[in-house]
Structures are given as C-alpha cells and as structure tokens.
A = this chain, B = another copy of it.
C-alpha cells in the first residue's frame, strides 16, 4: 500500500518527512494540505491531526505526525538513516531534537513572519529576536560540519534530513548559503543524493501558485 503524506510545498517540516520517504525508496505520494487557506484549522483536519500541523503520514491503519516521528518510522521500515551503532543512533536523534528545538522551529517561524504574513502584522522586534537565535544555530551547525561531509558518521542520516528542512528555500529568513561554507558544501552533498528534489518540486503547493 502506498504511504500517503499530508503536506505542502512551503512547509519545511513536511519536507523533512517527504525527503526521508523519497530517499528511502519507499512508495509514497503527497496529499496537498491547503495551509494558506486555513485547511489545517478545520475540524476535518483536526480529526487527522489534533495538533493542526503538517506533515501527517498515513500507512494503512497507522497515522503519524511530527516530522521526527515520521523520519523514525521511515528508518524502522527501510533500515536507513538512523545511524549504524547505538552511539550513532543517539547522536542522530540528538541532532533531530536539536533541529526541532533550535533550528527548524525558528527558521520556519521567521520565514513565515518575513514572507507569508501581511506587513501590518510583522513585528521588527520579533523578527530581529528570532534572527539572532537563528544565527546562533547556524554557527553551531557550521562549526560541527568543519571537516565533515555528514552530521553523523559516513553517510546521510535523519540528522541531515532534519537539519536541512528549511535551508533550500529561496525566501529570506536570515540564511545565505554564501555566509556558511561548511553548510553550503553539506547541502550540496544532500542534493546530490539519488532522487533528491527541491521542496517546491517534491511537494504540491508553492508561492508561485498564489502569485
């Protein structure tokens, strides 16, 4: 049975799940969530996910949400991306949690505030505060990638798939690849993986649709 992923192009959290599915070789298909018209706030969607978020993965009777959980399921099912040894598995999980806590959460919110919210609702103080926190996160990732091709071990893992979630998007959110040479090199390593696609090509929906 084909795995379904409720997602939309602008969602970096959805991208983490979609990219894990795509690179794993599992059969999957996207189901468009019309986030910008409020579909995720409808009672019907709250039945799918009480947290009101995308992505949601459905595989037969199993329904999962939170990108980190879907990534874990893809690893459990495909045997890929979770690390080779017990120490590597904890290290992979560490970076997935760090990403959820410090990187993607801030990047997603800041990109939303700077690009998808009407001007009158934008607070320069909030954006500035978030940009400061994000810069600290980029510095930690940049330093960790010094001399490394991958965040953990010798190949791509959920750590990479999680941390890259927002970093291919073109909209401004305080991230310029040219400022971070190790991150830039590592993003190229990921995009060279067989089957890799940009978020706007891998999932339905993009700002171009709403232009």
Contact = CB atoms under 8 A, between A and B. Distances in A.
Interface of A: 50-52, 62, 64-69, 72-73, 87, 90, 93-94, 97-98, 100-102, 105, 123, 125-126, 129, 140, 143-144
A94 B123 contact: no
B123 A66 contact: no
Contacts of A65: 94
> How many of these chains are in the complex?
2
21 contacts: A50-B140, A50-B143, A51-B102, A52-B140, A64-B90, A64-B94, A65-B94, A66-B93, A66-B97, A66-B98, A68-B93, A68-B97, A72-B93, A73-B90, A97-B97, A100-B101, A101-B101, A102-B105, A105-B105, A125-B125, A126-B126
A134 B94 CA distance: 24
A101 B99 CA distance: 9
A88 to B, nearest CB: 12
Contact of A123 (B62, B67, B69, B125): B125
Contacts of A72: 90, 93
Contact of A93 (B51, B69, B123, B143): B69
Given A97-B100, A100-B100, A123-B129, A90 B69 contact: yes
Contacts of A93: 66, 68-69, 72
A66 B94 contact: yes
